[in-house]
């Protein structure tokens, strides 16, 4: 674990969640990568913490080693990825939404067409985080599973 084809794995990680201003630049980057202006396909969500006076945060897949979403997928569209997280095969997906329900931290989102949007840890969004909340880094399995770094 922690290695993909013998190489160290890279994942999207939180550097300092308390710095999040809720701008959602990450969310827009995610859909833009797929050729969209908007957020329909975004696998990351920026939210306020019951109102902006309490601050903001981002929600995305934290690359579980035993992903519940993959365990409940009836068609094998959501498959565990070596080193943590999932690989999503859209063509196998029937849009049942089991994965969305199963995710303990509510980090899988429903697109307008009913299919899930999930972070694939490509790191594209990290370059657009202007406040040092997100980074794309090589991780040790133990290290990236810790919330406070």
- Which residues contact another protein by CB under 8 A? 21-25, 27-28, 31-32, 35-41, 45-48, 50-53, 55-56, 59, 109-112, 128, 130-131
Least distance to another protein, CB of residue 80, Å: 27
Least distance to another protein, CB of residue 49, Å: 10
Q: CB atoms < 10 A from the CB of 5, how many?
A: 7
β-strands 78-80, 56-60 pairing: unpaired
**Cα distance between residue 98 and residue 121, in whole Å:** 21
Least distance to another protein, CB of residue 48, Å: 7
Q: Phi/psi of residue 4, each to 5°? A: -120, 120
Q: 124 or 145, CB closer to another protein? A: 124
Q: 46 or 63, CB closer to another protein? A: 46
Q: 12 or 20, CB closer to another protein? A: 20
Least distance to another protein, CB of residue 47, Å: 4
Q: 9 or 26, CB closer to another protein? A: 26
**Cα distance between residue 79 and residue 145, in whole Å:** 19
Q: CB atoms < 10 A from the CB of 84, how many?
A: 23
Eight-state DSSP code of residue 98: H
């Amino acid at each position: 674990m922690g290695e993909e084809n013998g190489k160290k794995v890279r994942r999207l990680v939180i550097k300092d969640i308390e710095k999040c201003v809720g701008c959602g630049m990450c969310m827009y980057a995610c859909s833009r990568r797929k050729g969209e202006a908007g957020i329909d396909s975004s696998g990351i969500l920026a939210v306020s913490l019951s109102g902006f006076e309490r601050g903001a945060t981002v929600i995305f897949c934290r690359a579980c080693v035993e992903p519940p979403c993959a365990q409940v997928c009836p068609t094998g569209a959501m498959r565990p990825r070596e080193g943590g997280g999932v690989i999503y095969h859209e063509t196998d997906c029937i849009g049942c939404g089991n994965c969305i329900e199963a995710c303990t931290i509510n980090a899988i989102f429903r697109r307008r067409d009913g299919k899930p949007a999930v972070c694939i840890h490509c790191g594209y969004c990290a370059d657009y985080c202007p406040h040092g909340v997100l980074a794309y880094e090589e991780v040790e399995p133990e290290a990236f599973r810790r919330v406070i770094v």
